[in-house]
């Protein structure tokens, strides 16, 4: 009788073994690669979007809100909130600010329109900033302060259409360019710095001429007539976008720096010609 030897069914076991989980792709599920990509984009762009949102919010906060003319009660509250701590509740002045009882409407309108007042904090430098209030609120505050007492310089009335530009330019170069520079870009003084005029409106120029803010002298009608003030204001507007018929503007530094540039160029050309001549 023959003995039958059975072979282990290893081949069948191999064929029937369940496939490994790592090779199974389940139907209806998305690869994890896509999820990782979305998360990576969030981490990549998230900080930039946050910074952009903060920047837009800060820019919007700097712009004065557009609103109608505030009531008398609202104007008083604005003054008491933003001005009285330095100038007194009735404009009598304090150790931190001058009195306003005889200031006049021109200087108040100038300081508010150029953003020099109110100061962002005590001790801040008095420089041009974006105005805190819209034009209606500024006009209301000017009227409110003007009621503290008579006196002072009223807001000038300009006749821009009839202003003499050449005469205004001559007056500016004679009496203003020494501090504000010939191109109106401002300059250093012994006691401070004369501001640039490249953002000043004609009315702001006229108000500054008549009131003398800061270290600037006051030019009354004996020094400049109203027609001359209008001419100066018109010339300052011309300086915002001047013509340069001579060619390059050389950054509008004025006649002395421009002469120095021409001198240096002439010396360089003469030196080059001398070197060429010696080589021959």
DSSP 214-269: TTPPP--TTTS-HHHHHHHHHHHHHHTS---TTS--GGG--HHHHHHHHHHHHHHH
Q: Is residue 23 part of a domain?
A: no
User: Does 265 fall in a domain?
Assistant: no
SS3 189: strand
The pLDDT of residue 177: 93
| Per-residue exposure over 3-16, b if at least 16 CB sit within 10 Å of its own CB, e if not | eeeeeeeeeeeeee
pLDDT value for 159: 82
Residue 206 lies in a domain: yes
- Which of 174, 153, 154, 168 shows the shortest CA–CA distance to 227? 168
The answer to whether position 231 is within a domain reads yes
**Domain for residue 46, yes or no?**
no
Number of domains in the chain: 2
Supply the pLDDT for residue 94: 95
- The answer to whether the beta carbons of residues 202 and 110 sit under 8 Å apart is no
How far apart CA 240 and CA 197 sit, in angstroms, is: 8
- 145's CB contacts (< 8 A; 6+ apart) are 79, 83, 91, 100, 103, 105, 108
Give the tokens for residue 86. Answer: 């330095």
Among 119, 116, 118, smallest CA distance to 127 is for: 116
Q: What is the pLDDT along the chain (280 residues), one digit of tens a residue?
A: 455 555 555 544 444 554 454 444 455 555 554 455 655 665 666 666 666 665 665 555 445 545 589 999 999 999 999 999 999 999 999 999 999 999 999 999 999 999 999 999 988 999 999 999 999 999 999 999 999 998 899 999 998 778 999 999 999 999 999 999 888 988 877 667 899 999 999 999 999 999 999 989 999 999 999 999 999 999 999 999 887 766 666 666 666 677 788 889 999 999 988 888 787 6
pTM: 0.68
The residue with tokens 């309108």 is: 109
- Rg value, the chain, Cα: 37
Whether 163 and 149 map to the same domain: the answer is: no
DSSP 184: S
* Residue 261: per-residue pLDDT: 80
Helices (H), the chain: 10-16, 32-62, 72-82, 84-87, 105-113, 135-146, 165-175, 177-180, 202-211, 226-239, 255-279
Q: How far apart are CA 182 and CA 151, in angstroms?
A: 34
Q: What is the pLDDT of residue 259?
A: 79
Same domain, 114 and 133: yes
Are residues 140 and 187 both part of a single domain? no
Residue 165 belongs to a domain: yes
Q: Look at residue 1 in the predicted model and tell me its pLDDT.
A: 47
- 180, 194 contact by CB (below 8 A): yes
Q: What is the domain extent for residue 100? A: 63-154
Q: Do 150 and 160 reside in the same domain of the chain?
A: no
């Amino acid at each position: 009788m023959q003995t039958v030897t059975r072979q282990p069914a290893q081949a069948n076991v191999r064929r029937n073994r369940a496939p490994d989980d790592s090779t199974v792709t389940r139907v209806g599920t998305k690869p994890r690669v896509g999820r990782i990509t979305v998360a990576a984009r969030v981490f990549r762009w998230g900080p930039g979007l946050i910074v952009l949102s903060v920047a837009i919010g800060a820019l919007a906060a700097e712009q004065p809100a557009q609103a109608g003319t505030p009531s008398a009660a609202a104007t008083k509250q604005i003054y008491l909130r933003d001005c009285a701590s330095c100038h007194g509740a009735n404009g009598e002045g304090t150790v931190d600010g001058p009195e306003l009882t005889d200031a006049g409407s021109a200087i108040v309108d100038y300081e508010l329109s150029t953003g020099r007042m109110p100061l962002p904090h005590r001790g801040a430098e008095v420089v041009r900033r974006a105005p805190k209030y819209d034009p209606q609120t500024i006009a209301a505050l000017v009227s409110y302060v003007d009621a503290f007492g008579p006196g002072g310089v009223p807001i000038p009335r300009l006749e821009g259409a009839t202003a003499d530009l050449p005469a205004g330019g001559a007056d500016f170069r004679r009496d203003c360019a020494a501090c504000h520079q010939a191109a109106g870009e401002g300059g250093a003084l012994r006691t401070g710095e004369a501001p640039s005029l490249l953002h000043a409106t004609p009315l702001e120029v006229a108000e500054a001429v008549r009131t003398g803010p800061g270290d600037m002298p006051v030019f009354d009608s004996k020094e400049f007539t109203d027609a001359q003030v209008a001419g100066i204001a018109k010339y300052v507007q011309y300086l915002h976008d001047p013509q340069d018929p001579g060619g390059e503007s050389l950054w509008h530094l004025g006649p002395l720096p421009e002469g120095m540039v021409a001198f240096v160029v002439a010396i360089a050309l003469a030196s080059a010609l001398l070197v060429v001549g010696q080589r021959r």
